[in-house]
Amino acid sequence: MLKIENLQASIDDKLILKGLNLEVKAGEVHAIMGPNGAGKSTLANIIAGKEEYEVTNGTIELNGEDISELAPEERAHNGVFLSFQYPVEIPGVSVTNFIKTAINETRKAKGLEDMPAKDMLKKIREKSELLEIDRKFLSRSLNEGFSGGEKKRNEIFQMAMLDPKLAILDETDSGLDIDALRIVANGVNKLKSKDNAVIVITHYQRLLEYIVPDFVHVLHDGKIVKSGDASLALELEAKGYDWIKQELV
Ligand code: ADP
Ligand code: MG
Ligand code: MG
């Protein structure tokens, strides 16, 4: 699904990613961990196509196609979803109306008509039931006065509705209470399938108590320096990151 080879990228002429390799197959959940400033968010933003970064080397393929020249919208239309891509507050636009517009814009980009209202309602009902989201929440103004947990609920709902091939959740963990972590974990666990893949980026192991990843990678100084299974996350929680840095010397 996703194949990244020798990715090098910089911002303001500062090299951040220094030859990163990552392969994610359909049906897999990958966790990317690593110390603050390692380049985790940079990686997420570059996959999503944010334009402030300069890719100086390497390739990013999605389902065999090079996506590195595509605009963020085009990547989204190709099935890439990044959490917090739409963090804005929009008074007067409800959670539901926002997602309806996003879905129809995606369809339009593919030359399709708007989704029939009946199908849209059915989808909203199915996904909100799956994620245990109540109707009142769906009619609230987007992000207006949302708590941390509600922001997460909205994000996971967006993800469920957009049905991405590749979902990237950049969980900075800062200010995330246990409820918010559970909402994210529950959503990922319910939405993962053999046809999609999820990358969860996290600084702490806590989130991975609820999402069991198939692979855990450690990003350090712009590269993936170690990969393993879920037990690697536990080892990192117990021992921190320093032992990995020492292994590299
Ligand atoms: P992480 O998510 O792993 O904590 P980031 O990807 O946010 O790390 O940051 C990696 C490095 O890139 C840091 O040194 C950070 O200061 C730098 N960086 C990230 N974004 C920007 C930016 N917009 N402008 C300048 N430097 C940035
Ligand atoms: Mg950071
Ligand atoms: Mg980050």
CA distance 144 to 137: 11
**Per-residue pLDDT, 86:** 60
pLDDT in tens for each of the 249 residues of the chain?
999 999 999 999 999 999 999 999 999 999 999 988 999 999 999 999 999 999 999 999 999 999 999 999 999 999 999 987 666 788 889 999 999 999 999 999 889 999 999 999 999 999 999 999 999 999 999 988 888 888 889 999 999 999 999 999 998 766 677 888 888 899 999 999 999 999 999 887 888 888 889 999 999 999 999 999 999 999 998 898 888 888 877
**Alpha-helix residue ranges (DSSP H) falling in the chain:** 40-48, 72-77, 95-109, 117-130, 135-138, 148-162, 178-191, 230-239, 242-248
Q: 45 CB under 6 A from ligand 1?
A: no
Residue 185 token pair: 């974990």
The residue extents of the domains of the chain are: 2-248
Atom of ligand 1 nearest to the CA of 35: 3
Atom of ligand 1 nearest to the CA of 45: 6
Q: Which among 42, 82, 241 is the best mutation to test ligand 1's pocket, defined by most ligand atoms within 8 Å of the CB?
A: 42
* List of long-range contacts for 89-92, beta carbons under 8 Å, 24+ apart: 89/141, 89/142, 89/143, 89/144, 90/141, 90/142, 90/143, 90/144, 91/141, 91/144, 92/141
Q: 37 CB under 6 A from ligand 1?
A: yes
Count the Cβ atoms, other than its own, within 10 Å of residue 144: 13
Q: Which residues, other chains included, contact 96 with Cβ-Cβ below 8 Å and sequence gap of 6+? A: 124, 138, 139
Q: 172 CB under 6 A from ligand 1?
A: no
What number is the ipTM of this complex? 0.94
Superfamily holding 2-248: P-loop containing nucleotide triphosphate hydrolases (3.40.50.300)
Q: Measure 198 CA to ligand 1 centroid, in angstroms.
A: 22
CA distance 6 to 59: 7
Atom of ligand 1 nearest to the CA of 43: 6
